[in-house]
A and B are shown apart, each in its own frame.
Chain A
């Protein structure tokens, strides 16, 4: 089955700096890669996603890159703010013929220090 590794498990950055979280996956059939942000005590929320036919996607201060050959994708947050502090999860999803299977990374706890 699919295996998703996420690094680092914890990350501390100064406010205004950039943060990068990396994930690798094993199943080349995975074709949809969402990122979720989960604040303490709250539900995970989709913040950005990328599909296998795209190499990069950007939405204001966050961006995601995908390298299909190397089977890794990364989340980039620029100009970090204290409200970016949360746990971030990556996921790799295989979608085909009405079936889906999603595997999550183990999460990265991001702390933005004011």
Chain B
């Protein structure tokens, strides 16, 4: 099976702009979670989508949003970019077969730099 893919891999934006990141999960996986990784804060949970519905959300401002399509692909949008949004954004997919089965497989990430 192909792994989790993310596009683009690298992105440079300026403050105030918006950005959309894309994640394609492993075939058959219905859950996609998004994380922000920074050197100082580690891995921070943004949100999870399952069957096109947001199931849970981390402690991020409303500028961070996402959605999931019927084919399980997911997009994450960040509006009004700030310098502090510079980070590696990782998505992870999971089959989510049951509450007890939650192995996550990470994509390579999108490196976002805000100038």
List A residues at the B interface (Cβ < 8 Å): 1, 32, 34, 36, 42-46, 49, 51, 89, 91, 93, 95-107
Contact = CB atoms under 8 A, between A and B. Distances in A.
B45 A103 contact: yes
A43 B48 contact: no
Interface residues of B, number: 24
A34 to B, nearest CB: 7
Q: Is the interface of A mostly helix, strand, loop or mixed?
A: strand
B109 interface: yes
The 3 closest A-B pairs by CB, nearest first: A104-B43, A43-B106, A95-B99
B61 interface: no
Contacts of A46: 103-105
Contacts of B99: 95-98, 100
A45 B23 CA distance: 17
B56 interface: yes
Nearest to B44: A104
B21 to A, nearest CB: 15
A104 B108 contact: no
B59 A1 contact: yes
Given A32-B100, A34-B103, A99 B45 contact: no
Contacts of A104: 35, 42-45
A35 to B, nearest CB: 12
A106 B37 CA distance: 10
Q: Is the interface of B mostly helix, strand, loop or mixed?
A: strand
Given A100-B55, A102-B45, A104-B43, A43 B102 contact: no
A98 B102 CA distance: 11
Given A105-B42, A107-B42, A98 B103 contact: no
B33 interface: yes
Given A43-B106, A46-B104, 7 more contacts: A89-B42, A96-B99, A98-B55, A99-B56, A100-B99, A101-B45, A104-B44
Contact of A89 (B43, B48, B59, B109): B43
Contact of A95 (B58, B100, B106): B100
Contacts of B33: 102
Given A32-B100, A102-B33, A43 B56 contact: no
